[in-house]
Amino acid sequence: MKSSQKIVNFIKTKWQLITILLLLVVLVVQLLQLISAAPGSAAAAAGQITDWGLSFQGGSGDPPIANVSAEELANYSAYYIGDTEKKYIYLTFDAGYENGHAPTVLDILKEKQVSATFFLVGDYFKSQPDLVKRMVEEGHTVANHTATHPDMSSIGSMEAFRAELEEVERLYYNIIGSEMPKLYRPPQGKFNVSNLQQAQLLGYKTVFWSLAYQDWDNAAQPDPQASIDKLNGRIHNGAIVLLHLNSETNAQILGQLIDSWRDMGYEFRPLTELVGLAVE
């Protein structure tokens, strides 16, 4: 009897230990899930955020903190900033329509010998083929800003996503006669993980930005000097700068901005170099 009782006690002890170990495993798994979903973590940001956002918390010259890290974006061939150890600037413009400022901007870029990237919406190709051709002929990169400028985070199917980009590719080819560089910027910075994956599957590099300001509203254009002061105060190493091509203020201040940034020791580099994209 004593021997049998010992065996029973031994088995009970073993089961208790196994139960405790199983509980510990469950607790560890739950803890890891909480950590990965914690607000502000890269996993939470990539999975839940649909609006690109930046926070300038440091001093002058410090890069901003984005709501998705550069490391997390790199998993999807996406970028928002370059090497923060190098005094490089990547100048980009977004354009949905033309209101007369593009020729001035192009004249300034030519005079200052700066190469920029223009993210254009489908209608721009249809209404301004000569300007698109001039951009490419003068050494700039023309890139994809979608056919209809929708909220891309609301697009779930690959077919609908592909259609927005391939229509722009077709328009580009009809004007330039060569394939469009595979650079894409989500309209209004609206995105989700599926979009990033879809763009990557189509061979695209998704490009956000690390510096922009409220320059898009034609009815409320910012003061030129205040704009220069704000942009100079926030410029930083590796900056991907977003300016809107329809902005009268940008047309007025672009030359001064380029000169002041060069005086600060910055060098303008092509965005294609940052993302490792060869252009024909």
Question: Residue 146: is its pLDDT beyond 70?
Answer: yes
Residues 54 and 17 in one domain: no
Residues 27 and 132 in one domain: no
Residues 6 and 83 in one domain: no
Element of type H or E holding 226: helix 224-234
Residues 211 and 258 in one domain: yes
| Full residue range of the structural domain in which residue 145 is found | 42-275
Residues 30 and 151 in one domain: no
Lookup result for tokens 């259609």: 163
Residues 68 and 140 in one domain: yes
Q: Is 87 helix (H, G, I), strand (E, B) or coil?
A: coil
If pLDDT is split at 50, 70 and 90, which confidence band does 129 have?
very high
140 labelled catalytic = no
- Looking up residue 233, the CATH number of its domain turns out to be 3.20.20.370
Higher pLDDT, 169 or 18: 169
pTM: 0.82
**Cα dihedral sign, 254-257-262-266:** negative
If pLDDT is split at 50, 70 and 90, which confidence band does 38 have?
very low
Position 23 in a domain: yes
Q: Phi/psi at 140 (nearest 5 deg)?
A: -90, 165
Question: Residue 212: is its pLDDT beyond 60?
Answer: yes
Residues 209 and 94 in one domain: yes
Model pLDDT for residues 79-116, shown as the tens digit of each residue = 999 999 999 999 999 999 999 999 999 999 999 999 99
Question: Residue 133: is its pLDDT beyond 50?
Answer: yes
CA angle 218, 223, 229 (to 5 degrees): 130
Residues 27 and 160 in one domain: no
Position 84 in a domain: yes
Residues 26 and 63 in one domain: no
The total number of structural domains that make up the chain: 2
Residues 4 and 71 in one domain: no
pLDDT of the residue at 59: 76
**Cα dihedral sign, 249-93-189-60:** negative
Task: Give Cβ neighbours of residue 116 (< 8 Å, ≥ 6 apart).
Answer: 91, 92, 93, 109, 140, 141
Asked if 210 and 240 touch (Cβ cutoff 8 Å), the reply is yes
Mean of per-residue pLDDT scores for the chain: 88
Marked catalytic residue, from 62, 83, 94, 149: 94
Position 120 in a domain: yes
255, with CB counted inside 10 A (0-12, 13-18, 19+), is middle
Position 218 in a domain: yes
Residues 100 and 32 in one domain: no
Marked catalytic residue, from 101, 140, 236, 244: 244
Position 251 in a domain: yes
Position 101 in a domain: yes
101 labelled catalytic = no
Asked if 167 and 144 touch (Cβ cutoff 8 Å), the reply is no
Residues 256 and 216 in one domain: yes
Position 280 in a domain: no
Of 215, 212, 211, nearest to 236 by C-alpha is: 211
